[in-house]
Structure 1
Amino acid sequence: MKAGLRLLVAVVAVVGLFLAFNYGLHARIPDLLWRTLHFLSFFTILTNGIIALAMALPVLAPESAAGRFFTSPRVRTAIGGYIIIVAAVYHVMLAPLWDPKGLNLIAQIILHTIVPIAFLLDWLVYTRRGETPWHCALTALILPFLYAAWIFAHGAWTGFYPYPFLDVAELGYGQVLLNMTVLTVLFICVELLLVTIDKGLAALQRGSAQTQG
């Protein structure tokens, strides 16, 4: 059952990415290279792509290095934090700013609601408990920091910034760095919450095992 559900979520995520690429704002860019660079500049896209891999590879190639990597509880916990931030920022800050229609609307629902809920349920039910250390909340920042570096480089090159709160041209580096500091604190808090939940569930499992024993 777990394998089937994970493959289903992976397929749904890929469908959402396909729809976003072909029917979102990116579809208005005629050049395929620039369109792809624009598309990959969104943390939502990167995170959903990672989730598609994290759900599919442990099923399709469990003994591969990538399969073992995405099976790791600390990796899945880090991804859980990413997708929580993606969903929260979209629904609280970005959704009120635009009104997607048709297939683009379906893409946004998949990427910002369906996939986040599905992955977090998978994390709660299937991730091995008690193997995620507290410092995961800090090591999980590696991807967001790399993403931030990419956004600054890409923005300086093209003038395009994917999110209004990261728009250096509009806000200036000072305000953007402040916004990124706030996001960093939110990332850490979310990851710490997930590690706390993990450790609490691990304690409950140990207590249940001792009671049954």
Structure 2
Amino acid sequence: MTLPARLFATLIALVAVAGLVLQFVTYRIGHPGADAFETVWSLARYFTILTNTLVAATFTLMTVRGRMPGPLWMGGLTLWIAIVGAVYYALLANAVSGLDAVADRLVHLATPLLTVAFWLFYAPKHGLRLASAASWLLWPLLYVGYALLRGELDGFYPYFFVDPTRIGWDGVLRWSALLGVSFAAAGGLQVGIARLLR
């Protein structure tokens, strides 16, 4: 990695970690009876938190080792965190203030934008094709299965589009298909951009 790329990776790692820490803090403030394990377990329901964790881990390792993962992982990670921001602001955003607002901006806006910028300017893009975009669907599909299983076990579904008690199983299937198509289209667009930039 070049020095500018490594410095940029360090910035993203710090922002992603700060967002996760603030999410932990704000959850504890809102749930004073929860201990550290309960807080982490509750936050781990959310695609936002899990994907930000992937970003934080990836960019921390890049900072420490000075090496970048391959184009398939970097492309997928960028797509997933970009969708975090897009879905949040399109479907889920609520008016929040104070520390909650700072935490929300970090995990839903700052980290996605910085990661996309890093991918555009520094990430390897060789060898990406439509099959790559198809493989990037694996993480969101795994998440949907995980969210539904946890919801069945504890009765709490993190998002309305994976909540059969609110929209029925047919609604969950429709929303999953819609989001899957959106992921696939965004991934295909990303592959096209990679070829142009390459």
TM-score, with normalisation over the residues of structure 1? 0.85
Identity %: 29
Aligned to 1:158: 154
Aligned to 2:122: 126
Name the stretch that deviates more: 25-34 or 135-144.
25-34
Counterpart of 1:19 (choices 14, 22, 26) is 22
Summarize the alignment of residues 1-213 of structure 1 with structure 2, pairs less than 5 Å apart: 1-24=4-27, 27-28=30-31, 30-32=33-35, 33-62=37-66, 71-95=69-93, 98-202=94-198
Structure 1 residue 146: Cα displacement? 1.3
For 1:90 and 1:194, how far apart are their aligned partners in 2? 20
Deviations along 1:37-60, one digit per CA (max 9) or x if unpaired, are 220111111111111122121231
Partner of 1:41, secondary structure, is coil
For 1:133 and 1:61, how far apart are their aligned partners in 2? 28
Mark the CA change 1:15 to 1:188 in structure 2 (over 3 Å): closer, same or farther: same
2:33 corresponds to which letter in structure 1?
P
Larger Rg belongs to: 1
2:158 corresponds to which letter in structure 1?
P
Deviations along 1:145-188, one digit per CA (max 9) or x if unpaired, are 11111111100011111112221111111111110110000110
For 2:40 and 2:87, how far apart are their aligned partners in 1? 23
Aligned residues: 194
1:48 corresponds to which letter in structure 2?
N
For 2:33 and 2:145, how far apart are their aligned partners in 1? 26
Deviations along 1:61-117, one digit per CA (max 9) or x if unpaired, are 25xxxx6xx61111111111111211111111111xx22221111010011111111
Residues 26, 39 of structure 1: 8 Å contact kept: no
Structure 1 residue 24: Cα displacement? 3.8
In structure 2, list runs of 5 or more residues that go unmatched: none
For 1:25 and 1:184, how far apart are their aligned partners in 2? 33
In structure 1, list runs of 5 or more residues that go unmatched: 203-213
Structure 1 residue 25: Cα displacement? 7.8
For 1:75 and 1:85, how far apart are their aligned partners in 2? 15
